């Protein structure tokens, strides 16, 4: 698999989640399994079944995070050129029809959070922005209709 671009902040967030799962959640769940097992008949023990199911979820998430971290390519936005919109940069778009401005940071799928102004480079809007230069028009066919933006700043 090719490396997955991620910001340092995104990498640290995934690493923190992995540490939390390994050091807190998984040991807590193992203890819950042991306690449920002590209650006797496992065939009719709902606590045991729930704890085993949670264990499967935790193990799968730990494996997923380990894989993502192992394949991550940490990119520092501060080292990037401001010539065109690329992964990690922050862009300011002006809606040509309304004059409203929006600011987004272009990030990987793991880091995207529209409420925090971070959009994935794999999203339709992210794909439309990548490679654009100041003054370029960006046209998006959104569920609410076509939107026309101008790239007014690359931070």
User: 69 near 13, Cβ under 8 Å?
Assistant: no
Q: Are residues 69 and 85 in the same domain?
A: no
CATH number at residue 8: 1.10.287.180
Condensed to tens digits (0 to 9), the pLDDT of residues 114-154 reads 999 999 999 999 999 999 999 999 999 888 888 999 999 99
Residue 94 has pLDDT above 90, yes or no: yes
pTM, rounded to two decimals:
0.77
Return the exposure string of 38-63: e unless at least 16 CB atoms fall within 10 Å of the residue's CB, then b: eeeeeeebeebeebbebbeebeeebe
Q: Are residues 18 and 30 in the same domain?
A: yes
Domain that holds residue 20: 4-74
- The torsion angle over the Cα atoms of residues 61, 65, 67 and 71, rounded to 10 degrees, is 160
Residue 90 has pLDDT above 90, yes or no: yes
Residue 1 has pLDDT above 70, yes or no: no
DSSP 112: -
Q: Regarding predicted confidence, which is higher, 102 or 42?
A: 102
Q: Are residues 37 and 102 in the same domain?
A: no
**Counting beta carbons within 10 angstroms of the beta carbon of residue 99, is it exposed (0 to 12), middle (13 to 18) or buried (19 or more)?**
exposed
Q: Are residues 145 and 81 in the same domain?
A: yes
Give the separation between CA 25 and CA 31, rounded to whole angstroms: 10
Percent of the chain at pLDDT above 70? Answer: 96
Alpha helices (H) in the chain, listed in sequence order: 8-20, 26-38, 46-70, 124-129
Domain C-terminal end among 48, 74, 100 = 74
pLDDT of amino acid 43? 66
Domain count, the chain: 2
Q: Are residues 45 and 65 in the same domain?
A: yes
Mean pLDDT of 93-122: 93
């Amino acid at each position: 698999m090719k490396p997955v671009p991620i910001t340092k902040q995104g990498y640290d967030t995934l690493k923190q989640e992995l540490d939390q799962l390994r050091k807190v959640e998984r040991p807590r769940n193992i203890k819950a399994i042991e306690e449920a097992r002590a209650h006797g008949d496992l065939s009719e023990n709902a606590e045991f079944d729930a704890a085993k199911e949670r264990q499967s979820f935790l193990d799968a998430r730990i494996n997923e995070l380990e894989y993502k971290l192992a394949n991550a390519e940490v990119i520092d936005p501060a080292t990037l050129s401001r010539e065109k919109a690329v992964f990690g940069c922050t862009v300011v778009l002006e809606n040509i029809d309304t004059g409203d401005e929006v600011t987004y940071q272009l990030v990987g799928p793991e880091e995207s959070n529209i409420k925090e102004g971070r959009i994935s480079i794999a999203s339709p809007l992210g794909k439309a922005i990548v490679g654009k230069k100041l003054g370029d028009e960006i046209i998006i066919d959104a569920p609410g209709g076509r939107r026309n933006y101008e790239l007014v700043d690359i931070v």
